[in-house]
Structure 1
Amino acid sequence: MPLTEDNILLNLLIEEIATILLNDIEIGRLSITALQYFLFCTYEKEIPFATPEYEVFRYSAILAAKQISDDTYKALMKQLPTLEQIDNLIQVENKLIVNHQKVAEELEPLIEYIDFRRIKRGQIDFIEPLKVIPAEIIQHNSELIDSDLNNIRGIPIYRFKESELFWDRLGSGSKAIIENNGKVVYAPNDLNSWRIVRAKMLLENNGIYEWDIIIEKTCFWSWVGVCASKNFDYENPAGRQSSGWVLGTNGYCRNYDYETYYCPSFHEDGARITVHLDMNKRTCSFTVNGTKYPKVSAWNNLPSKLYPIVSIKYPGQYRIQPHQKK
């Protein structure tokens, strides 16, 4: 099958892989040639993309090292921490990789399609001592690093960290109880009318935001969605307000006086709803129990600042967590 831009199936595959964190793809599942083509197709292209550019380099370098030997692969894994490890202030001993020149040769076809301008200076400090890319590339791109440039290419897909997603006690209706380090909210048995519970995270930048809501215990018509940052009443149902946009377990989407059928009902405990919020297009769509549905057609001009929300009453219990792509 020729690798051409006209190949529809191949382009669909590229777009699907772009929504997956490269770290979640086992080393060896992609060849150097396949990864090169993937990076070429997504370089400076406006398509949804999930992996930060530092992790793009890291995955590429580790894959290149794997072509040399297992020892080289293991050595590079130790020398090149993940972004999460960097955030946790992991200490890495700067040692030269024995086969660094061979790794550089394997890595060379990929370097052209890695945007080093998106990699922060502190992250470059982990890359430079490895000597797996030419010093002039490091120097040239260090001068071009743009702090205003997003660290994810294309249309960024933001995958939240566990520490970033939790319910906001100050943004909740009365009686709702938040526990488990802010991850779980439930309604006590005397909460018989809907209350709104908002997540702490404000969504206001361009890009695509995704998170999961697990309905651990359903109530009569649970609701999941987003609300505006202003003019919102946490004591009343979200779907009856002009600043609330929600999907109910009855399969209908609601916003103020507008209601439309969206998907089959899902009243069972354990239902998983993924919210896909596109702040570039100001649209929203949902995945319910693994089935992704299209954007809600009427929600095509959402506000520029939104919060994740749920509507809850007894015996409802909801968990919020980063989206886990299956």
Structure 2
Amino acid sequence: MSRGESLVEDLKVMLNNPRFSDVKIKCSDYKDNNDILHGCRMILAARCEVFEELLFNEMRETDKIFFPEISTVAMKVALEFIYTGTVDENNLNTTNVIDVYYAANYLLLSALEEVTFSFIERILSSNIKTSIVKLFSAMITKFDVQEFKESRLFQLLCKKMMKIPLGTLAFEEISFDVLKVLLSQTLDQDEYFATSEYGVFRYVVLWGANKVSTQALAAYVKILPPDDSVEAFCDERIQKNEELIEESKYRPQILKQIDHLLPLIDLQLINMKILALIIDPLKLHSVECLIKAYRFHAISNIPTKTTRGSLVNRKITWDETKCGPHLIVNDDGTIVQSLARNNSQMAIAKQAFKGEDILQWDIVIEKNTKYVAIGVISYTEIEKPEPKLSKSLVWQPNCWCISSDGSYHDLTSSREYELEAFEEGDTVTTHLDMSKRTLSFSINGRKMETAFRNIADKVYPAISLTSLGKLRIKSLSRPEEKLSTDFKPDYDDMLNAILSRLLI
């Protein structure tokens, strides 16, 4: 292309070209003259207010500018944008995009901020765990969290980090600062956190032990079982009347690593049995912290949630890989429907529920069908056979459900339920109490008696429908919680009674 045909192409020729430049720019990683960037004073000042202020006021007598907080790579992208109004996204990646965003923010280039923010959003949409952690770590390193925590970039990355179970992250991936910021900024968040509070405690302690030595890590792995086996671990201790044997020789070194992280763990969200049989004997928390948690459990007349954040309005979506062959799921994952005339087939949600929470969600009958079943199912691909998706929910092993003919079904039986048949437009609410392992239902707000007891400790929402049916699943909610104020117990007597029952 000849000169004069394209302004953008002509400006690219001038970009970082000493022949057309009268300003030299050094950045934070400057080592020698090869790292010097070149710019035109008039173009820089006309296109960027920060450069104008520097070049015509503070540094009007010099041709050198130093940016101690902006990297050379980030400045190159910023200069490209200043000169041409565009960015070659081939120059952006997970390693440098936070630096570029910082440079755009520093230079008050709002349009470049938008470009980099959109690029970050596209990276995050792939939900690649390593990319999310890398971007979050880079952001914490680059920005002052206290000043930046209200920004949309921080909120976006923080929400993405909350959805990654801590137990899936290698200890080497996470720095102290990353853990501290993540835990401090999510302690009172309304967003759902993917790790139970006991899981947070376990990860923090093992992270600290890993910092001490491989021997310390091995010792604490033995006495801190993962979420899915912690209850069995506690029950075994009670049955055998065994106390937890802790490797106290490592405690001072581990405390040195995690002392400032422990206050960011909410012990009130941890099951009292786990507190008494696992956490208390470790002597990592102060007696005052433990007593406060015990007392909270003693005066609460409702089962406490076990995860920080809120389940309110958490989106439930159908798993496209766990749907019958003639069922389809819409783009946002909330609607499942059958477009063909077929026998009853089932769909399972992506989200599993366990722990001790009390949850409820709605299924709306948007298009009536001959037969609908609504409930939950439990399965693990290793231990139990996978559900037969081409069959009705009522015929699945380990299911608990009601059907549109007013009956309810589990693994062993099928019985009538005091519920009228579902009709188009009806809303069926599933009420799940994981603390009591019970399941009940209501239709259009009228709640029925408990349908099932002793359900599995991990379940997925599930439905089945026949030809031309269409169902929508709506967001989770949680019944309103209140602490009992009808009595004022003797805290010490109650605490002693609780501990004595646990340790019998």
TM-score band by shorter chain is 0.5 to 0.7
Match of 1:159 among 311, 321, 326: 311
Contact 1:203–1:306 (CA under 8 A) maintained in structure 2: yes
Q: How do residues 211-250 of structure 1 correspond to structure 2 at under 5 angstroms?
A: 211-230=361-380, 231=385, 232-250=387-405
Is the partner of 1:239 in helix, strand or coil?
A: helix
Number of the residue aligned with 2:449: 294
Structure with greater strand share of residues: 1
Number of the residue aligned with 2:459: 306
Encode CA deviations 1:278-317: one digit per residue, 9 max, x unaligned. Answer: 1111110111111011211xx3211111100010111210
Please state how far the C-alpha of 1:159 moved relative to its aligned partner.
3.4
In structure 2, relative to structure 1, the CA distance for the partners of 1:316 and 1:124 (3 Å cut) is: closer
Match of 2:422 among 267, 292, 295: 267
Please state how far the C-alpha of 1:161 moved relative to its aligned partner.
3.3
Structure with greater helix share of residues: 2
In structure 2, relative to structure 1, the CA distance for the partners of 1:195 and 1:323 (3 Å cut) is: same
Match of 1:186 among 333, 337, 341: 337
Q: Which amino acid aligns with 2:311?
A: R
> Aligned partners of 1:276, 1:86: CA distance in 2, in Å?
35
In structure 2, relative to structure 1, the CA distance for the partners of 1:85 and 1:199 (3 Å cut) is: farther
Q: Which amino acid aligns with 1:205?
A: G
> Aligned partners of 1:220, 1:125: CA distance in 2, in Å?
45
Contact 1:240–1:257 (CA under 8 A) maintained in structure 2: no
> Aligned partners of 1:281, 1:86: CA distance in 2, in Å?
38
Is the partner of 1:303 in helix, strand or coil?
A: coil
> Aligned partners of 1:259, 1:215: CA distance in 2, in Å?
22
Please state how far the C-alpha of 1:177 moved relative to its aligned partner.
0.6
Q: What stretches of structure 1 of length at least 5 have no aligned partner?
A: 1-80, 91-119, 127-140
Contact 2:361–2:476 (CA under 8 A) maintained in structure 1: yes
Provide the aligned C-alpha RMSD in A: 3.6
Higher relative contact order (CA 8 A, sep 6+): 1
Is the partner of 1:155 in helix, strand or coil?
A: coil
Number of the residue aligned with 1:112: none
Q: Which amino acid aligns with 2:400?
A: W
Please state how far the C-alpha of 1:256 moved relative to its aligned partner.
3.6
Please state how far the C-alpha of 1:267 moved relative to its aligned partner.
2.8
Encode CA deviations 1:38-57: one digit per residue, 9 max, x unaligned. Answer: xxxxxxxxxxxxxxxxxxxx
Q: Which amino acid aligns with 1:224?
A: I
> Aligned partners of 2:329, 2:267: CA distance in 1, in Å?
36
Is the partner of 1:309 in helix, strand or coil?
A: strand
Aligned length: 201
Is the partner of 1:322 in helix, strand or coil?
A: coil
In structure 2, relative to structure 1, the CA distance for the partners of 1:87 and 1:293 (3 Å cut) is: farther
Number of the residue aligned with 2:144: none
Runs of 4+ in 1 over 6 A off after TM superposition: none
Q: Which amino acid aligns with 1:122?
A: Q
> Aligned partners of 1:242, 1:125: CA distance in 2, in Å?
39
Q: Which amino acid aligns with 2:313?
A: K
In structure 2, relative to structure 1, the CA distance for the partners of 1:294 and 1:124 (3 Å cut) is: closer
Q: Which amino acid aligns with 1:146?
A: I
Number of the residue aligned with 2:269: 150
Q: Which amino acid aligns with 1:161?
A: N
In structure 2, relative to structure 1, the CA distance for the partners of 1:305 and 1:323 (3 Å cut) is: closer
Q: How do residues 1-326 of structure 1 correspond to structure 2 at under 5 angstroms?
A: 88=156, 121-122=184-185, 144-147=263-266, 149-150=268-269, 154-156=302-304, 159-162=311-314, 164-190=315-341, 192-230=342-380, 231=385, 232-296=387-451, 299-323=452-476
Larger radius of gyration: 2
> Aligned partners of 1:244, 1:87: CA distance in 2, in Å?
38
Please state how far the C-alpha of 1:236 moved relative to its aligned partner.
1.2
User: Identity, % of aligned pairs?
Assistant: 24
Give the TM-score taking structure 2 as reference length.
Answer: 0.35
> Aligned partners of 2:153, 2:414: CA distance in 1, in Å?
45
Encode CA deviations 1:217-260: one digit per residue, 9 max, x unaligned. Answer: 12112110001123322121111233111111111111244112
> Aligned partners of 2:397, 2:186: CA distance in 1, in Å?
44
